[in-house]
Chain A
Amino acid sequence: MTAGGPHRHALFAAALCLCAAAARADVYQEPDAFIAEVFGSRPAPKLLWLTPEIQAQAGAILGHPPAQLRQRYWSDAHRSVWILEETGKEELITAGFVVAEGRIDHVRVLVYRESRGQEVRQSAFLKQFKDAKLGQGDRLDRDIDGIVGATLSVGAMERMARLALYFDRKSRE
């Protein structure tokens, strides 16, 4: 099998298009700016080390092992902020979660890299997470309505919300 020049160029162009799509990122707010907005300034980060028990439960929530073994977070006496990343369809979504007294205070999509499904950043969708807490089996105590065409991004947002609540609980134990 030999590859002709035009053939190689066509495939290479397709590969480049996919890479360009992968490299695209809509930054709605820098994570630093989100943290500063919540606390008024940027407090020093704290660390939650993912023990084997936490790794196992985080893996159960995400459906795959967590990508790293320590999680940075920012907190004061009442609230904690978690900047989490999870794959929607093919690319990572970066979202900020503010947790207060075991409930989600508010959520914001900070960086969106997928080519479609940006609707998950809209407040009409995100306000469904307001006051959500963990119920039985570390699931949210409510159903989150999906968005047609953004099913996988909605799933990723829901998993991150559960993870933020779980991490918040572990950070206070």
Chain B
Amino acid sequence: MSPKLLFLLFLRRWHARIGFGAMTFFLLLSVTGFILNHGSDFGLDAKYVHATWLARWYGLTPEPPRQAFRRGRHDLVAANGRWLLDGRISGEKFPQPVGLAELPDMVVVASSASLYIYGKDGALIDRLEKGALPGAPVQAIGSDAHQLVLRTASGTFESADALSWRPAPRDAIAWSEPAALSAAERERYAELLQPGISVQQLLLDLHSGRFAGRYGPLAVDFLALLLAVLSLSGAWLFLKPRHHRRERH
């Protein structure tokens, strides 16, 4: 058997071996790359994965919920940038609340720089940022008879609709105060309010190899090298026999 034929057989054998051996990884890279390329269409930036093992893998230390704000039939617990308002998760990247107030047809949650106004059904009605507040930072939120009251660095203000504000008298205001959680409640809420990793970040880390740790990117570099070898060997296997046939004719 000629050395050229031996080389071709060697190349074919190893082309197949490398292709088969790295198939799973190439599929992983292809799928994650494809999904990342269309991440916005799939709404990945707004999707989060919440799992204890994943948070641990990422080295995230979950912040345990320690207190709740309660007013009437409403309660709010916050941890890890997430709110649990009346048993309903409000979203991600939320600020630390300073209190909760109830008006006849709405529930208002205050953070130091914003107000979140919810309907009685839990739907978000409006979010007021610093410019729409009578003062900032908000230090406390409360209510008197039918008014929402904010204590800010600029003074105390009241409003019936969270739109127009006027200075409020300082008496007869029921300020929202945090209440400590029992051990059982802390455990239950910690489970519900685990920190999340965005799907986009997870896919990015899988695609780049960072998910596997410090040597992950090196492994992906090696796979890229294998892909280059496969391309070259594939081209060789495709072109060489044709060239050989042309020479014989």
Q: Mark A residues whose CB is within 8 Å of B.
A: 1, 3-4, 6-12, 14-15, 18, 22, 30-32, 44-45, 47, 64, 67-70, 72, 87, 89-90, 152
Contacts and interface: CB of A to CB of B under 8 A. Distances in A.
B45 interface: yes
B127 A68 contact: yes
Given A3-B59, A7-B213, A10-B214, A152 B40 contact: yes
Given A44-B163, A152-B40, 11 more contacts: A3-B59, A6-B213, A10-B214, A11-B211, A15-B197, A15-B201, A18-B201, A32-B131, A72-B126, A90-B40, A90-B45
Contacts of B51: none
Interface residues of B, number: 32
A72 B163 contact: yes
Contact of A10 (B46, B198, B210): B210
A22 B198 CA distance: 12
Given A10-B214, A14-B210, A3 B56 contact: yes
Interface of B: 40, 43, 45-46, 53, 56-60, 93, 119, 123-127, 129, 131-132, 163-164, 197-198, 200-201, 205, 210-214
Nearest to B197: A15
B214 A89 contact: no
Contacts of A32: 131
Given A14-B205, A47-B163, A90-B45, A69 B59 contact: no
26 contacts: A1-B57, A3-B57, A3-B59, A3-B213, A8-B59, A9-B59, A10-B214, A11-B210, A11-B213, A12-B58, A14-B205, A18-B198, A18-B201, A31-B129, A31-B131, A44-B163, A44-B164, A45-B132, A47-B163, A64-B43, A68-B126, A69-B123, A70-B125, A72-B163, A90-B45, A90-B200
B127 A15 contact: no
B124 A69 contact: yes
A11 B56 CA distance: 11
A45 B163 contact: yes
Nearest to A34: B131
Given A32-B131, A69-B123, A69-B124, A12 B59 contact: yes
Contacts of B164: 44
Contacts of A9: 59
B214 A6 contact: yes
A11 B57 contact: yes
Nearest to B131: A32
Contacts of B201: 14-15, 18
Contacts of B163: 44-45, 47, 72
Nearest to A90: B45
Contacts of A15: 58, 60, 197, 201
Given A31-B131, A47-B163, A87-B45, A10 B124 contact: no
Contacts of A12: 58-60
